[in-house]
Chain A
Amino acid sequence: MTKRPIRFYQVGSFAVGNRLLSEGDRTVQSDPSRTNSIDSGHRACQGCGEALGARYALDAAMRATNNQLVAVNATGCLEVFSTPYPETSWRIAWLHSLFGNAPAVATGVAAALRVKGHTEVRVVSQGGDGGTVDIGFGSLSGMFERNDDVLYICYDNEGYMNTGVQRSGATPPAARTATTDVVGPQPGNAFGQGKDLARIAMAHDLAYVATATVADLHDLEAKVERAMQFRGARYLHVLVPCPLGWGTASSETIHVARLAKETGMFPVFEAEFGVVTSVSKIRHPTPVEEYLKVQKRFAHLFGKNPRPEMVAHLQELANRNIERYGLLDRAEPASGVVSGEEPA
């Protein structure tokens, strides 16, 4: 068994920062002078995954573009909690129009910048899963198909949370929402519906498509940076748990995102020109129960009248992801010596 020498910094590869890391190896978020694209005082719920995901992604985009960035926002939680008239939490150039037209507006912004010769200014369009997979889907597919120079970021919290937790095309099977109640022979959201937008984006043969979660900051930042190295339409899908809609404790936001990835429920990968180029391996294989049990939206699968067959069905879906993306081959742990630069 060959030992893989690595730079070993106690927590270097997983935590936000580390005193032992060189500045260049630290995350954008560990920098006290990070942009803080979305400022304090926003009205997102306690422990909001979307507020966190948006700051992670946009701060990284700001660094990657040398602060030459315009963000276009679809209607949704992110817009509502950040800009109650006349206040705004945005510390970047930011534009909001309608629920369904953010990709089209972004196309227009990119075109205007091109006409004016400001090709150094990059455009990000962003929205929740409702604005992306449902309401804005047509204009998004058009933006993809025309290959407009926009990075579209979807913050996926798996439902219309802002309006009272209704089902979206990204709501997982069996989940309870206000419109998929726990009644009837198959309680919660139906199996076999919904869409996997990352794969739909790949089918457009985009230069870059990736998924990420708020539980792995290094990975998310690297993907934003990678996306900004391409021109044309690109797509980033970020899983952002919602304490309100998922029925999790506000402190569990990152933990539950991590479980989504570790169980295989949410595959984390990146693809270039329609081909998967890398996947985030599962570090500690975990049964889907662990992920489901911490969320009240799946409470009807357990308790007094458990539905093990539905849990098994969800496990099958996770297994399919694990197989499709090859999520399980683990890397060898580090051992032996510290390589890399000398200690300070």
Chain B
Amino acid sequence: MNKRPFAITLDVGTSRSNHTGSWRVERPTYVDRLPPCNNACPAGENIQGWLYEAESGAYESAWRALVEENPFPAIMGRICFHPCESACNRAQVDEAVGINAVERFLGDYAIEQGWRLPAAGPASGRRVLVVGAGPAGLSATYHLRRRGHHVRLVDSAPQLGGMMRYGIPAYRLPRRVLDAEIDRVIDMGVEVVLNHNVADIEAERSSGHFDALFLAVGAQLGKRVNIPAGDSAKILDAVSYLRDVADENPPLLGRRVVVYGGGDTAMDAARTARRLGATEAVVVYRRNQDKMPAHGEEYEQALGEGVTMRWLSTINRVDADKIVIEKMRLNAEGYPESTGDYEELGADAVVLALGQDTDLSLLARAADVEVHDGSVQVAQDLMTNGRGVFAGGDAVPAERTATVAVGHGKKAARGIDAFVRGVAADVTPKHELADFAHLNTWYYSDAERTQRPELERIRRQDNFDEVVLGLTERNALFEARRCMSCGNCFECDNCFGVCPDNAVIKLGDGTYDINLDYCKGCGVCARECPCGAIEMVPERI
């Protein structure tokens, strides 16, 4: 009863009975690698994560993912110096993704839509005193409230915000944005005490029955130097100057203002002076442009507004209507040294922007809190030597930016939470970095970075209107989609498509699996994965 054709002895079978997976010596494995932006973010934001949401236009999910780590997107989208963009892998393809611009769009959009921060956690019964309502103190407050701890937030100033209000000029950070984002944190239920100077933390701690303290007092004292000066010479420090301007009580400086220093505060002071009527605003700095600590954008904008620079110069003497500067040169180690050449420069006032110190008088009776070089010394979790006393922001040794302070606030909140609950803070190890070598950038469309519009220079001269403007929704969506999703699968189907053995299974929920019965381990999927989310792992043979 052979019904087969002539000379055919076997029925047709499928090749699926041939399990070619036995050839394999390496197996493709889906991994999450740490995107360089996330790695670089001082506030620990999951930038790739929130951009991923924004790419599909899911702005609320994007914003919610963002505020998991940082409650101030609209503020950060203006004043952060975005180390994420410096680390962005896309910079090696064309230009870095405009992360800061998208963050600002999300922040502004959230304010416009009236989205609220997540509610405070269930009351834990623990009390925390936060001293200083700047970015570190407010960030700590937010994260402590989310964990259900009671927070008393005290500040010596009449309003919240610290240096974000009293240091950063309004043309960089409009006050309505600052107020909106701070109010949202306070709305979580925070006991706020303003105009209150904490003189002695131990007394304050015991009288208020606080389980832990967070010191985020900032660095509010402008550094002074001794410069020989005539009787009527006008010298003031940049911190006080900017504070008085923020208080709408600007001092009269005259027509020619010299700012001494080369940091961001120097730029802020010079740009502010221009806006208040100085026809000449000259920044005198002892080193050159390469060594200047001010960030490039601030410097460029200052130049654009008519601020001029005197590189390699120190001020030797200040008189009522002029200063004497000495020209410097850089030695082999890059340090400035005298040349003996002097020059006079007309000046009606000198603003010193030479750095800031922290007022630590409140620690006078807290003998166990170690202070070194004017900074509070802290451990990895930001706890000082004093039990339950944490510190962060400009008061501890670190880069002094608002973003670092926000990160400190989060970290301290985590440390405080562990401390008051008597457990060890859980530290998740970082994933392997998704560096450029892991990517296959062929697959990303060529797309230039979207530049943020800026206020015309002529309109900046006599007011504090915001200089850098925001992106539109369409611009922001475009910019978000420039993200290469480094190290994290974004469902491009490449692995599913390029497998010569149909051994990648598309599960339909945005994830994939490998059919190890047929995967020969050729590695094409890993090689062609745009974002480096597949790793070839040797089989144990």
- A: which residues have CB within 8 A of B? 6, 8-20, 26-27, 29-30, 32, 36, 39-44, 46-49, 51-52, 55, 82, 85-89, 217, 243, 249-255, 258, 283, 331, 333-339, 342-344
The closest CB in chain A to the CB of B448 belongs to A335
A14 vs B441: C-alpha distance when bound (angstroms):
10
Q: Is the CB–CB distance between B445 and A8 below 8 Å?
A: yes
The interface stretch among B249-257, B426-434, B498-506 is B498-506
Q: Which of A42, A82, A253, A343 contacts B524 (CB 8 A)?
A: A253
A338 engages B478 (CB within 8 Å): yes
The contact of A337 among B16, B475, B520, by CB within 8 Å, is B475
Query: CB-CB < 8 A to B18: which residues of A?
Result: 41-43, 87
In the assembled complex, B337 has its CB within 8 A of some CB on chain A: no
Whether a CB of chain A sits under 8 angstroms from the CB of B425 is no
Cβ of B494 and Cβ of A40 under 8 Å apart? no
Indicate which residue in A19, A32, A51, A55 contacts B510 across the interface (CB closer than 8 Å). Answer: A19
- Chosen A-B contacts, 15 in total, with CB atoms closer than 8 Å, are A8-B481, A16-B493, A16-B494, A17-B496, A18-B491, A32-B496, A40-B501, A41-B16, A41-B518, A44-B500, A44-B501, A87-B15, A334-B446, A343-B57, A343-B477
Interface residues on B, range: 35 or more
Inter-chain contacts of B524 with A (CB < 8 A)? 47, 52, 250-251, 253-254
Which has the most chain B C-beta neighbours within 10 Å: A12, A19, A51, A89?
Answer: A19
Could you tell me the distance between the alpha carbons of A86 and B4 in the complex, rounded to whole angstroms?
12
Is the Cβ of A87 less than 8 Å from the Cβ of B478? no
For B15, B447, B520, the residue with the greatest tally of chain A CB atoms inside 10 Å of its CB is: B15
Q: Which of B494-541 contact A (CB under 8 A)?
A: 494, 496-503, 506, 508, 510, 515, 517-518, 520-524, 526-528, 530, 536
A298 to B243, CA, bound (A): 70
Name the CB-closest residue of B to A253.
B524
- Stretch from B6-14, B183-191, B392-400 that touches the partner: B6-14
Q: Report the bound CA distance from A138 to B495 in whole Å.
A: 39
Q: For residue B535, give the distance in angstroms from its CB to the closest CB of chain A.
A: 12
Q: What separation, in Å, do the CA atoms of A337 and B520 have in the docked complex?
A: 42
Q: Determine whether the beta carbon of A39 is less than 8 Å from that of B502.
A: yes
Expressed in whole angstroms, the minimum distance between the Cβ of A291 and any Cβ of chain B is 14
Tell me which residues across on chain A come within 8 A of B94, comparing CB atoms. 333
CB distance from B379 to the nearest CB of A (A): 42
CB closest residue in chain B, given A50: B500
Q: Is B483 engaged at the interface, CB distance under 8 Å to the other chain?
A: yes
**B156 within 8 A of partner (CB):** no
Which B residues from 474 to 490 make CB contacts under 8 A with A?
474-475, 477-478, 481-485, 490
The residue from B10, B57, B528, B530 contacting A86, defined by CB atoms under 8 A apart: B10
Chain B residues numbered 345-394 whose CB sits less than 8 Å from any CB in chain A:
none
Q: Would you give the 0/1 interface string for B1-36, flagging 1 where the beta carbon is closer than 8 Å to chain A? A: 000000000111111111110010000000000000
Most chain A CB within a 10 A radius of its CB, from B57, B490, B492? B492
Contacts of A335 in B (CB 8 A): 447-448, 450, 478
Given contacts A8-B447, A30-B497, A41-B20, contact A36 B481 (CB under 8 A): no
Q: Provided the pairs A41-B16, A343-B56 are in contact, do residues A17 and B491 lie with their beta carbons within 8 angstroms?
A: yes
- With known contacts A39-B14, A87-B17, A89-B15, A249–B523 Cβ distance under 8 A: yes
**Do the beta carbons of B445 and A14 come within 8 Å of each other?**
yes
CB-CB under 8 A from A12, the residues of chain B are 445
Closest beta carbon of chain A to B482's beta carbon, Å: 7
A35 to chain B, nearest CB (A): 10
Contact A10 B497 (CB under 8 A): no
Q: Is the Cβ of B475 less than 8 Å from the Cβ of A336? A: yes
List chain A residues, Cβ under 8 A from B20.
40-43
Q: Cβ of B496 and Cβ of A16 under 8 Å apart? A: yes
Partner of B15, one of A9, A42, A343: A42
- Greatest chain B CB density within 10 A among A48, A250, A342 is at A250
Residues 241-290 (chain B) with a chain A CB within 8 angstroms = none
A39 to chain B: closest CB distance in Å?
Answer: 6
Cβ distance B506 to chain A, nearest Cβ, rounded Å: 5
CB distance from B94 to the nearest CB of A (A): 7
Interface contact A40-B447, CB-CB below 8 Å: no
Contacts of B339 in A (CB 8 A): none
Closest to A18 in B: B492
Q: Are B14 and A88 in contact (CB under 8 A)?
A: yes
Q: Which residues of B contact A29 (CB under 8 A)?
A: 493, 496-497
Sample of 6 more A-B contacts, CB < 8 Å, known A42-B20, A333-B94? A10-B55, A16-B496, A19-B490, A48-B500, A51-B500, A337-B477
Q: How far is the CA of A40 from the CA of B500 in the complex (A)?
A: 9
Complex Cα distance A11/B482, Å?
9
Bound CA span A221–B208, Å? 72
Complex: how many Å from CA A85 to CA B18?
Answer: 12
Chain B residues contacting A333 (CB-CB under 8 Å) are 94, 445-448
Kindly list chain B residues whose C-beta atoms are within 8 Å of the C-beta of A339: 474
Q: In whole Å, how far is A155's beta carbon from the nearest beta carbon of chain B?
A: 12
Chain A nearest CB from B98 CB (Å) reads 12
Q: Roughly how many angstroms separate A6 CA and B445 CA in the complex, as a whole number?
A: 10
CB <8 Å contact, A10 and B445: yes
Q: Is B159 an interface residue (CB 8 A)?
A: no
The chain B residue sitting closest to A83, CB to CB, is B15
CA separation between A121 and B316, bound complex, in Å? 93
* In the bound complex, CA of A51 to CA of B15 (Å): 14
Contact indicator A16/B445 (Cβ below 8 Å)? no
Residues of B within 8 A of A82 (CB): 15
**A334 and B448 form a contact (CB under 8 A):** yes
Flag if B15 contacts A39 (CB, 8 Å): yes
Which A residues are in CB contact (< 8 Å) with B499? 52
With both chains docked as a complex, state the minimum distance between the C-beta of A285 and any C-beta of chain B, in angstroms: 14
**Which residues of chain B are within 8 angstroms of A44 by Cβ–Cβ distance?**
500-501
Give chain A nearest CB distance to B91 CB in angstroms. Answer: 15
CA distance A41 to B490 in the complex (A): 29
Q: Which residues of A contact B485 (CB under 8 A)?
A: 10
Q: Which of A17, A18, A32, A40 has the most CB of B within 10 A?
A: A40
Q: Check if B445 sits within 8 Å of A11, measured CB to CB.
A: yes
The residues in B between 432 and 488 inclusive whose CB is less than 8 angstroms from any CB of A are 442-448, 450, 472, 474-475, 477-478, 481-485
In the bound complex, CA of A20 to CA of B53 (Å):
11
**For B481, what are the chain A residues with a Cβ–Cβ distance below 8 Å?**
8-10, 20, 338
* B14-A334 in contact (CB<8A): no
